[in-house]
């Protein structure tokens, strides 16, 4: 059987959103459960079961996994996966340095661009996946900005800002922010509108950039920018709106877990996936971890007693050699108090043997 996790990682380099379908079908006569994984993108929905099609359309909006019942002995886990967001920093000055570090720390693939060799080198940005020493006029052919990217414009001057905005605006990145005073930003926006750029799109640029926290130092400003990016990522928010309700959990899965599952091999592992939650829990739907028969693990669904309980159940399932089960982890009331849990919610997890 093809390794669908390897294909998933490869597909996410080309597409922003992919759904993995894991079909659990129990053959009652033998008591055996067949587990089959497949991938589907939005433009392939017409070729699948209507019930699953509707579920996928909804979860692509919500960004959360869902376990659906097809028949008495058949279930399908539908999981949306998103490309690993790039944080593209245009400008390698004093704010870019802490910004690259903080971005890498929270899981972004960081790219830094500057046209000055002293400011665009791997030694200055060790956390960056890519550092381009190239002019802002020519770098975008290499960057290929896409809708899953987060772009921060922190160049050293008004002229460079204008070049970057002209090149990035029509790419519709997930986030586009530009540093500058209100007056500088206003003048630049008026110039670009006069040139014929889309005023509606310009109004969606986060500028002046960053949450208003009174930041002064480069490190504080970088924190305010990252806070705004997280707000955009986690909440339904535009540059002109106040934050609203939680929108998605698209980063709650750990790419390190996916990369492990993508490796060729026959070693049995248990995959644990959070499929729903109520109340306050450590991780949201979509969080994953791997558990091996000897107790080793990779990733996390929250740690503590809850994770230990799930780990024991997963190892029991591994001893059986195949199959899956769902499990409710209760962190409310006396249960949480007795176990020393600080949360107060309920988490449903699915445990499956892989491969």
Per-residue pLDDT tens digits of the chain, which is 355 residues long: 579 999 998 888 776 678 899 999 987 666 688 899 999 877 777 767 777 787 777 777 777 888 988 888 889 999 988 877 799 999 999 999 999 999 999 889 999 999 999 999 999 999 999 999 999 999 999 999 988 899 999 999 888 999 999 999 989 999 999 998 888 888 999 999 999 999 999 999 999 899 999 999 999 999 999 999 999 887 755 555 544 444 444 546 778 899 999 987 778 999 999 998 887 777 888 899 999 999 999 998 877 767 888 999 999 999 988 899 999 988 775 445 555 555 568 889 999 999 8
Q: Residue 302's pLDDT is what?
A: 79
CA–CA gap between residue 352 and residue 156 (Å, rounded):
52
Q: Helices 218-234 and 96-105, interaxial angle, to 10°?
A: 40
**Which residues 6+ apart lie within 8 Å of 287 measured at CB?**
249, 252, 253, 254, 273, 274, 299, 300, 301, 302
* Rg, the chain, Cα only: 23
What's the CA gap between 306 and 130, in Å, rounded?
Answer: 38
Residue in this structure with the two tokens 């707000």, named with its chain if needed = 231
Report the pLDDT value the prediction gives residue 246, as an integer from 0 to 100: 43
Note the pLDDT of residue 243: 45
Helix (H) or strand (E) holding 90: strand 86-90
User: What is the reported pLDDT for 44?
Assistant: 76
* Domain covering 86-234: architecture: 3-Layer(aba) Sandwich (3.40)
Asked if omega into 208 is within 30° of 0 (cis), the reply is yes
Q: Where are the domains of the chain?
A: 1-82, 86-234, 252-355
Tokens of 65: 């996994």
**d(Cα 89, Cα 103) in Å, to the nearest integer?**
10
Taking a C-beta distance cutoff of 8 angstroms, is the pair 322, 355 a contact?
Answer: no
Q: Cα(108)–Cα(99) distance, rounded to whole angstroms?
A: 11
Q: If we measure between CA atoms, which residue out of 347, 227, 226, 335 comes closest to residue 288?
A: 347
**What tens digit of pLDDT does each residue of 234-268 get?**
775 555 554 444 444 454 677 889 999 998 777 89
Check: CB of residue 200 under 8 Å from CB of residue 172: no
Q: Over the stretch 176-193, which tens digit does the pLDDT of each residue have?
A: 999 988 888 889 999 999
């Amino acid at each position: 059987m093809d390794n669908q996790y390897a294909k998933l990682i490869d597909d996410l380099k080309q597409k922003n959103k992919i759904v993995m379908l894991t079909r659990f079908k129990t053959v009652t006569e033998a008591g055996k459960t067949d587990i089959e994984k497949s991938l589907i993108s939005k433009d392939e929905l017409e070729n699948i079961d209507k019930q699953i099609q509707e579920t996928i359309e909804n979860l692509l909006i919500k960004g959360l996994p869902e376990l659906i019942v097809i028949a008495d002995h058949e279930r399908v886990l539908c999981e949306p996966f998103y490309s690993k967001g790039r944080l593209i920093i245009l400008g390698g000055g004093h704010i870019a340095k802490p910004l690259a570090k903080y971005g890498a720390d929270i899981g972004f693939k960081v790219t830094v661009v500057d046209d000055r060799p002293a400011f665009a080198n791997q030694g200055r940005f060790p956390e960056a996946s890519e550092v381009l020493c190239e002019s802002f006029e020519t770098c975008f052919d290499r960057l290929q900005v896409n809708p899953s990217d987060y772009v921060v414009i922190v160049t050293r001057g008004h002229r460079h800002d204008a070049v970057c905005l002209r090149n990035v605006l029509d790419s519709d990145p997930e986030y586009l922010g530009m540093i500058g005073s209100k007056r500088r930003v206003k003048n630049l926006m008026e110039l670009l509108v006069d040139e014929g750029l889309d005023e509606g799109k310009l109004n969606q640029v986060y500028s002046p950039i960053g949450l208003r926290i009174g930041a002064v130092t480069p490190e504080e400003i970088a924190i305010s920018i990252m806070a705004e990016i997280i707000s955009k990522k986690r909440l339904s928010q535009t540059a002109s709106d106040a934050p609203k309700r939680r929108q998605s959990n698209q980063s709650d899965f750990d790419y390190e877990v996916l990369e492990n599952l993508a490796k060729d091999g026959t070693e049995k592992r248990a995959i644990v996936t959070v499929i729903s939650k109520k109340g306050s829990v450590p991780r949201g739907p979509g969080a994953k971890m791997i558990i091996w028969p000897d107790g080793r693990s990779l990733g996390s669904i929250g740690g503590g007693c809850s994770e230990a309980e799930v780990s024991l159940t997963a190892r029991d399932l591994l001893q059986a050699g195949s199959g899956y089960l769902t499990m409710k982890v209760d962190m409310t009331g006396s249960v949480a108090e007795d176990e020393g849990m600080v949360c107060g919610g309920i988490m449903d997890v699915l445990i499956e043997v892989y491969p």
